[in-house]
C-alpha cells in the first residue's frame, strides 16, 4: 500500500538505527523515481543481505531479495528478462560488504552493460555483523583499528568503469544523490552509483574517514551502447522433455530399490539411467541417483534406482532390495550396506569365503565373462531383470534404443537374456 500516488515507498518505518545514512539514499531514490515518473510496477528493486538489504519491505515496487553479494547477478538476470518490456527499470542495492563478497558479479554486470542501476551504500563496514572492515574500507579508516591499514580498498567505481559500465559515479554529498541517481536511472545500460552512507552504530567515530571517501568523488562515462537483449523464444525444459507413454506391464508388487556398484568407465551410471527409463516405460515412478569420486575417471561408481507404483517423495535408498556388484571398487564402496534381506548379485571373481559366510544367499554370477568391461554393468542388470522379473527386459531394450550405442547394448542384453537363468 503506498502513502500516495507519488511515492514508491510503503508505509513501513525505516528499520535502520537512528541517523543511519541508508535512509538518505532510499529517500533520494524515491524522489528520483517520482521525477522520472516511472510506475511503481515498472520498477524492480533487488536487494541482498546486510543492513542495505532491509529495504525490500520499504518499497512499493516489485522487490526481490537474494544471497549476500548477489544482488548485481540477480538484478542482471531480471534486467535481461524484462529487457523487451517497455519502461521497466531494475535497481539493485548492495552494501560495501556485499560488494566485496560479490565483486565479480558487479564487474560481470558492468561488462555485460545490460540496462540496470546498482546502488552501493558504502559505510566502510559490515554493519549487520558488528562493524568489521570490508574491501571498500579506506586505509585511514583501518588505521584506527590498526588492521590491514597498509592494504588499499578496491576503487569500485574505477573497476566498474574499466569493466565497461556506462555510467559510474561515487557521490557523497547527500544533496546530490537524487540527481545522480536520476542520471544513472536514465542511462541506458549498466550504471553504478556508490554513495557514502554513515553507520552511526559502528562508524560514527570514523566520520573523518568517511569524509575522506566523500572527498574522492569520481565520475566516469562510456559512450558504449547498452547491450541489446534479443527476444528469442525460449521453451521450458519440461516442454522439451518427451513424455514417456508406458508400453510394458510391470509385475512389481511393492517399492524396490536397486543398487548398481561398479568402477569408473564401467557404465554403472548409464545403466541406472536406462533402468529408471525402463521403469517409466513400464508405467512406474522412478528415481535415479549416482555417486562417484570427484576424480570421475577413477575409483568406484555407484548408482541407485528406486521403482514404485506410488510417487517417490524421498529418494534416499537406505536399505537396497537388490545389489548388482560388478567390480572390486564397487564392492568395497557398498560392502557395509550389504544385508541378508537383500538379493545380492555379484561377479564370481569378487566372492571370497568371508563374503560367502556373511551372506550365504548371495548369488555369484560370471558377469565379467558376459561382456566387456564397459558393458558388464548392463549385462548384470539385464541378467537380474530376466531372473527376477522386477521389470520386463523389453522395457530395458526400449530404454537403450535411443542411445547411439544401441546396437552394442541390444546385443549384450540379447546375449545375456537368452542364456538359461
Ligand atoms: S548498523 Fe549501521 S548500517 Fe546498520 S542500520 Fe545501524 S547504523 Fe545503519
Domain residue spans of the chain = 22-221, 239-417
Query: Ligand 1, closest atom to CA 22?
Result: 8
Q: How far does residue 110's CA lie from ligand 1's centre (Å)?
A: 28
Could you tell me if the CB of 163 is within 6 A of ligand 1?
no
**How many Å apart are CA 330 and CA 262, to the nearest integer?**
4
**How many Å apart are CA 412 and CA 419, to the nearest integer?**
11
Contact 74, 64 (CB under 8 A): yes
- The reported pLDDT for the residue numbered 1 is 42
Interior angle at CA 155, CA 149 and CA 161, nearest 5: 170
C-alpha cell at 320: 537396497
Contact 43, 89 (CB under 8 A): yes
Contact 90, 71 (CB under 8 A): no
For residue 416, which of 371, 356, 372 has the smallest C-alpha distance? 371
Q: How far does residue 194's CA lie from ligand 1's centre (Å)?
A: 17
Q: How far does residue 26's CA lie from ligand 1's centre (Å)?
A: 14
Residue whose Cα lies nearest atom 6 of ligand 1: it is 17
Q: How far does residue 360's CA lie from ligand 1's centre (Å)?
A: 68
**How many Å apart are CA 395 and CA 413, to the nearest integer?**
11
State the number of CA atoms in the 13 A half-sphere of 396 facing the CB.
27
- The reported pLDDT for the residue numbered 35 is 95
Residue whose Cα lies nearest atom 8 of ligand 1: it is 20
Could you tell me if the CB of 22 is within 6 A of ligand 1?
yes
Q: Which residue has the cell 546502488?
A: 119
Could you tell me if the CB of 303 is within 6 A of ligand 1?
no
**How many Å apart are CA 185 and CA 43, to the nearest integer?**
11
**How many Å apart are CA 361 and CA 299, to the nearest integer?**
27
pTM over 0.85: no
CB atoms within 10 A of CB 12: 14
Could you tell me if the CB of 112 is within 6 A of ligand 1?
no
Could you tell me if the CB of 123 is within 6 A of ligand 1?
yes
Could you tell me if the CB of 127 is within 6 A of ligand 1?
yes
**How many Å apart are CA 186 and CA 347, to the nearest integer?**
70
**How many Å apart are CA 58 and CA 220, to the nearest integer?**
30
Query: Ligand 1, closest atom to CA 51?
Result: 4
- The reported pLDDT for the residue numbered 253 is 93
Q: % helix / strand / coil in the chain, to the nearest 5?
A: 40, 20, 40
Options 3.40.50.2300, 3.40.50.970, 3.30.70.20, 3.40.50.2000; CATH of 22-221: 3.40.50.970
* Alpha carbon separation from 282 to 246, 385, 390, 392 (Å, rounded): 5, 13, 10, 8
**How many Å apart are CA 69 and CA 248, to the nearest integer?**
51
- The reported pLDDT for the residue numbered 209 is 65
Options 2.60.40.10, 3.30.43.10, 3.40.920.10, 1.10.40.30; CATH of 239-417: 3.40.920.10
Positions in the chain whose pLDDT score sits under 70: 1-6, 204-215, 420-421
For residue 275, which of 254, 257, 263, 293 has the smallest C-alpha distance? 257
Could you tell me if the CB of 23 is within 6 A of ligand 1?
no
**Phi and psi based region of residue 389 (left: phi greater than 0; alpha: psi -120 to 50; beta: remaining):** left
Q: Rounded to the nearest 5°, which phi and psi values hold at 115?
A: -70, 100
- The reported pLDDT for the residue numbered 145 is 74
Could you tell me if the CB of 326 is within 6 A of ligand 1?
no
Amino acid at each position: 500500500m503506498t502513502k500516495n500516488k507519488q511515492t514508491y515507498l510503503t508505509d513501513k518505518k525505516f528499520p535502520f538505527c537512528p541517523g543511519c545514512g541508508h535512509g538518505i539514499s532510499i529517500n533520494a531514490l524515491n524522489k528520483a523515481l517520482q521525477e522520472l515518473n516511472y510506475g511503481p510496477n515498472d520498477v524492480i528493486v533487488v536487494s541482498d543481505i546486510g543492513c542495505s538489504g532491509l529495504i525490500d519491505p520499504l518499497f512499493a515496487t516489485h522487490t526481490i531479495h537474494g544471497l549476500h553479494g548477489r544482488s548485481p547477478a540477480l538484478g542482471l538476470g531480471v534486467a535481461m528478462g524484462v529487457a523487451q518490456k517497455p519502461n521497466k527499470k531494475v535497481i539493485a542495492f548492495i552494501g560495501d560488504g556485499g560488494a566485496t563478497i560479490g565483486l565479480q558479479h558487479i564487474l560481470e554486470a558492468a561488462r555485460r552493460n545490460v540496462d540496470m542501476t546498482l546502488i552501493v551504500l558504502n559505510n566502510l563496514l559490515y554493519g549487520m555483523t558488528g562493524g568489521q572492515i570490508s574491501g571498500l574500507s579506506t586505509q585511514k579508516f583501518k588505521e584506527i583499528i590498526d588492521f590491514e591499514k597498509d592494504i588499499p580498498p578496491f576503487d569500485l567505481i574505477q573497476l566498474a568503469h574499466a569493466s565497461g559500465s556506462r555510467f559510474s559515479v561515487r557521490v557523497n554529498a547527500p544533496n546530490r544523490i537524487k540527481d545522480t541517481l536520476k542520471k544513472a536511472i536514465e542511462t541506458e545500460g549498466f550504471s553504478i552509483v556508490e554513495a557514502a552512507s554513515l553507520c552511526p552504530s559502528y562508524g560514527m567515530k570514523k566520520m573523518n574517514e568517511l569524509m575522506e571517501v566523500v572527498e574522492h568523488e569520481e565520475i566516469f562515462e562510456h559512450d558504449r551502447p547498452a547491450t541489446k537483449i534479443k527476444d528469442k523464444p525460449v521453451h521450458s525444459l519440461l516442454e522439451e522433455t518427451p513424455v514417456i507413454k508406458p508400453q510394458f506391464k510391470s509385475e512389481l508388487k511393492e517399492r524396490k530399490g536397486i543398487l548398481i556398484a561398479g568402477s569408473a568407465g564401467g557404465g554403472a551410471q548409464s545403466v541406472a539411467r536406462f533402468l529408471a527409463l525402463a521403469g517409466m516405460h513400464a508405467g512406474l515412478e522412478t528415481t535415479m541417483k549416482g555417486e562417484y569420486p570427484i576424480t570421475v575417471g577413477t575409483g568406484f561408481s555407484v548408482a541407485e534406482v528406486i521403482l514404485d507404483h506410488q510417487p517417490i517423495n524421498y529418494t534416499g535408498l537406505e536399505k537396497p532390495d537388490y545389489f548388482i556388484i560388478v567390480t572390486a571398487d564397487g564392492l568395497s564402496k557398498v560392502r557395509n550396506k550389504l544385508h541378508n534381506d537383500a538379493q545380492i548379485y555379484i561377479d564370481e571373481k569378487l566372492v571370497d569365503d568371508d563374503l560367502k559366510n556373511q551372506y550365504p544367499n548371495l548369488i555369484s554370477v560370471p558377469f565379467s565373462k558376459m561382456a566387456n568391461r564397459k558393458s558388464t554393468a548392463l549385462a548384470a542388470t539385464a541378467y537380474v531383470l530376466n531372473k527376477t522379473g522386477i521389470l520386463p527386459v523389453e522395457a530395458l531394450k526400449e530404454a537403450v534404443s535411443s542411445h547411439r550405442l544401441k546396437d552394442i547394448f541390444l546385443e549384450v542384453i540379447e546375449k545375456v537374456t537368452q542364456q538359461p537363468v
